[in-house]
Amino acid sequence: MNTSSIRQKHKELFGIKEPLLVRSPGRINLIGEHTDYNDGFVFPAAIDKAIWFTASRNDKKLFRFFSFDFDEYFELPVDELSISKVSWANYLLGVADQYKKRGHSLSGVDVVFGGDIPVGAGLSSSAAVENGFALVLNKLFDFQESKIEMVKMAQKAEHEYAGVMCGIMDQFAIMFGKKQQAIRLDCRTLDYEYANINLTGYQIVLCDTKVKHSLVSSAYNQRRKECESGVNLLKQYKPEITALRDADPDLLNKHKAEMDEVVYRRCKYVVEENLRVMEAFKALTQGNIAKLGALMTETHKGLRDDFEVSCKELDILFDFAQSFDGVIGSRMMGGGFGGCTINIVENDKAEAFKNGATKHYKQTTGNTPSIYDVKIMEGTNAVII
């Protein structure tokens, strides 16, 4: 897939030669996993894998979408906007619905979209689609919504049309991404700071397990509930606690005996992870890649043992990375139960690492992983051709 084939398809289907062109990337996350919906801190970045959209208005009061990757056409009258049985269409319809709820009057829109963000790999292809379509509508109809409003609408689209009660990290990182910069985001205040990703001598390698276990969204929503139940207990002692962001290890340990054992471990992980994000930001800005790597490794252990969102396949890749001389940090990335590990690897050992991980994963699971080199790139934007 390239942008000229999407543009060609747009012309074929809708007869428009020069539609609006929007690029919306995937994201990685250096550290800060499952902290966003606990009002905590995250450290993601937008990448050089993206979904591209061509878009134009139609005067037929129709949503007409073509998914290049699924090779499927979808059509719905604008006045009948509601959740569809076609799951890919929901990521666009959910965004349209948010515009409607903010009082914008929608008319017909024609869209072709597709790209190279692998689905189910934990690189947030869904948020890339939501953000991209948010920008498409904003531009085509001149709705004048700000970037942050588009981020919030994209997040709500995921809640209401995809049923995943996600935090704000993915949509934020994808909208605000900048070349060569990761974003340290405070998910409560939405204050953010960019940090130059200067991994001199190292590169980021993603190893994709190619599995996505079916419990992803139910387990995700379940983790949110467990965190909330920890907050409800701690609140009885410190009413100012409204999210795990407000708790610290001492307070948690003081009330450990009163907590359900599982809830305690979920809270412990989140409280520790928030502290790790702060440390990682400091380490990266000081060029201390070894420290960043060590923190990532701790994160994986917490996600595996306390938060329990890893899986056999991710652990196999993590263990291999741990044993490989030349990997300075490794961990599962994203919501969990499949998807990728993110690895920081010495440049001159990267090829050997990729080959070794592929061979080991094949031998242990019988499946071939996908390996991606990623670069940090700009967030969602309209492209002038």
* Residues taking part in catalysis: 170
Mark out the alpha helices in the chain (DSSP H runs): 3-14, 87-101, 125-140, 147-157, 169-176, 216-235, 249-254, 261-285, 289-305, 312-323, 350-365
Interface pick for ligand GAF out of 45, 109, 128, 166 (rule CB under 6 A): 166
Q: Nearest approach, Cβ of 377 to ligand GAF (angstroms)?
A: 18
Is residue 169 a contact residue for ligand GAF (CB under 6 A)? yes
Q: What does the per-residue mask of binding to ligand GAF show for 84-123, with x meaning CB under 6 A?
A: ----------------------------------------
Query: Buried (b) or exposed (e) across 93-126, using 16+ Cβ within 10 A?
Result: bbbbbbbeeeeeebeebbbbbbbebbebbbbbbb
Footprint of ligand GAF on residues 8-67 (CB under 6 A)? 33-34, 36-37
The 3-state DSSP class for residue 88 equals helix
Min CB(138)–ligand GAF separation in Å: 22
Number of residues in contact with ligand GAF under rule CB under 6 A: 11
Could you tell me where the DSSP H helices lie in 106-168? 125-140, 147-157
Name the minimum Å distance from CB 280 to ligand GAF: 14
Task: Give the residue, chosen from 167, 293, 369, 379, that forms a contact with ligand GAF under the rule CB under 6 A.
Answer: 167
- According to CB under 6 A, which one of 97, 110, 130, 170 is a site residue for ligand GAF? 170
The least CB distance from residue 141 to ligand GAF, in Å, is: 27
Q: Which helix (H) or strand (E) holds 53?
A: strand 44-58
Distance between CA 57 and CA 44 in Å, rounded?
33
Choices 48-56, 166-174, 284-292, 296-304; region in contact with ligand GAF by CB under 6 A: 166-174
Question: What residues numbered 120-149 form the site for ligand GAF, per CB under 6 A?
Answer: 124
145: its two tokens: 């919504």
- What is the b/e burial string over 234-264, where b = at least 16 CB atoms within 10 angstroms of the residue's CB? beeeeeebebbbbbeeeebeebeeebeeebb
The residue (of 87 and 368) whose beta carbon lies closer to ligand GAF is 87
Structure tokens at 246: 């407000």
Quote the distance between the C-alpha of residue 308 and its chain's center.
Answer: 19
Quick check: 308 binds ligand GAF (CB under 6 A)?
no
Return the structure tokens found at 201. Answer: 């001598």
109 vs 374, beta carbon nearer ligand GAF: 374
* Amino acid found at 153: M
Candidates 114, 115, 334, 369: give the one binding ligand GAF (CB under 6 A).
334
Copy the structure tokens of residue 237.
């002692």
Is the Cβ of residue 37 or residue 324 nearer to ligand GAF in the bound state?
37
Stretch that binds ligand GAF, among 74-82, 100-108, 161-169, 351-359 (CB under 6 A): 161-169
Task: Summarize as ranges the residues that interact with ligand GAF (CB under 6 A).
Answer: 33-34, 36-37, 124, 166-167, 169-170, 334-335
